Amino acid sequence: MINIIKDQEVLRFIAEESKRQIDELELIASENYVSPAVLAALATPLVNKYSEGYPGHRYYGGNHLIDEIENLAIERAKQLFQAEHVNIQPLSGSPANLAVYLALLQPGDTVLSLRLDHGGHLSHGHPVNISGRLFNFVHYEVDPQTGCLNMDQIRKIAKEVRPKLIIAGFSAYSREIDWAGFQDIASEVGAFTLADISHTAGLIAGGQLINPTPLFDVVTTTTHKTLRGPRGAIIMCQEKLAKKIDQAVFPGLQGGPHDNVTAAKAIALGEALEPSFKKYAHQVIVNAQFLAKKLQEKGYTIVSGGTDNHLMVIDLRPQQITGREAEIALEKAGLSVSRSTIPGDSRPPFNPSGLRLGTAAVTTRGFKEQEMEQIANWFDQALNKRDSKPALAEIKQQVSTLGRRLPPPQYNQIYATTAY
């Protein structure tokens, strides 16, 4: 398919990046490999269309087929998450969260969310993000002893600050979330609830984790992490909030939706409704738990002692390696990971004390426990031999042999015939 691109400068980089994605292993918890069908939908003439508004209510002509696609995506999301109302148009996770704030809050209102360095997200009120500049965010933390959320502590803060909105759902938290507990606290203090399931949506859709959608007022999710769709987001809410949410997305925050992405979202949601997706979601968690166990056996400290989902945060202080050093060494060995703060980190986010790993992408390639053990071995070797260029190059060679044996799905089917 990329053979159509004749611009050699751009083509070279696309081809090289495509090759990198085969040869290296993606352990970044927020990434995945979309199916060939999702990838193909993104490169269709739908990209040409303008469709400001909603199905049946557009500000441009020629949208009857786009309406059908958007309705299909909405119906599939409703079915998958048991949602009363779905807005499929948010361009990404951060603008989806901002749209929710615009819908439910006034500037200056108090919101309760998890601290960024304890596993929260920038768009949950960090001062460098627009959310933190417009609203009065107060943060809860994970328990320093257990690395887990302490619902009594969260209740205590909620009663003190009486937030208008409570956010649960995180970027770097590996344990099941007590959604009902959050909802109880919100009811006690009269707050709205927002579940940001960006990371775990695929595991929830695959029936492996508890679904907060029937409980919470609003749920946001990116579509490109465990859900394995195109880059973008979805907002789901109870019918009583539908109008406010829709108005906040358009015209409040965005202009025209990206219709090619809407089609790709519809396809990804359809894939997530297939029985095989349940198996995938299950294996993602089996793999994460197995990888965590193997790393623990090698002496690594996993925050909270393990994982219930697709990710884990590794505290590298005992190894006396910073997250940045580890990320760089692992990249040289062909393992893509992201540095991460650990709860209460004394180091800055650019060079924190930990790493975050996830298994959603490698599981899409068909990796199972055997490959997880191999990854744990390479991980340990790369960190131990981080000063040896030849040792890291040797690991990279072994990684790419496995990568070529189990490539991401789209490469087999779409790029296999290309020249590079």
Ligand X SMILES: Cc1ncc(COP(=O)(O)O)c(C=O)c1O
Footprint of ligand X (CB under 6 A) = 30, 92-94, 121, 123, 169-171, 196, 198-199, 222
Active site residue 308: no
C-beta closer to ligand X: residue 105 or 392: 105
Residue 126 beta carbon to ligand X: minimum distance, rounded to whole angstroms: 11
225 catalytic per annotation: yes
Choose the catalytic residue: 225, 356, 365, 386.
Answer: 225
Q: How far apart are CA 236 and CA 16, in angstroms?
A: 37
> In the bound complex, which residue of the shown chain has the CB atom lying closest to ligand X?
93
Known catalytic membership, residue 222: yes
To the nearest whole angstrom, how small is the minimum distance from the Cβ of residue 199 to ligand X?
Answer: 5
Cβ at position 234, least distance to ligand X in Å:
11
Closest approach of ligand X to the CB of residue 123, in Å: 5
Annotated active-site residue in 19, 20, 31, 52: 52
By beta-carbon proximity to ligand X, the closer residue of 21 and 198 is 198
Q: Which residue has the tokens 């040409």?
A: 48
Of 329, 406, 325, 343, give the one whose Cα is nearest residue 371: 406
| Catalytic residue list contains 50 | yes
- Specify the residue, 73 or 382, whose C-beta has the smaller distance to ligand X: 73
Of 63 and 171, nearer to ligand X (C-beta) is 171
Closest approach, Cβ 280 to ligand X, in A, equals 20
For the CB of residue 314, give the shortest distance to ligand X in the complex, in Å.
18
- Using the minimum distance from each CB to ligand X, give the nearer residue, 74 or 114: 114
Marked catalytic residue, from 50, 324, 380, 418: 50
Residue 191 CA to residue 155 CA, distance in Å, equals: 12
- CB of 231 or CB of 368, closer to ligand X: 231
Residues acting as catalytic residues = 50, 52, 196, 222, 225, 231
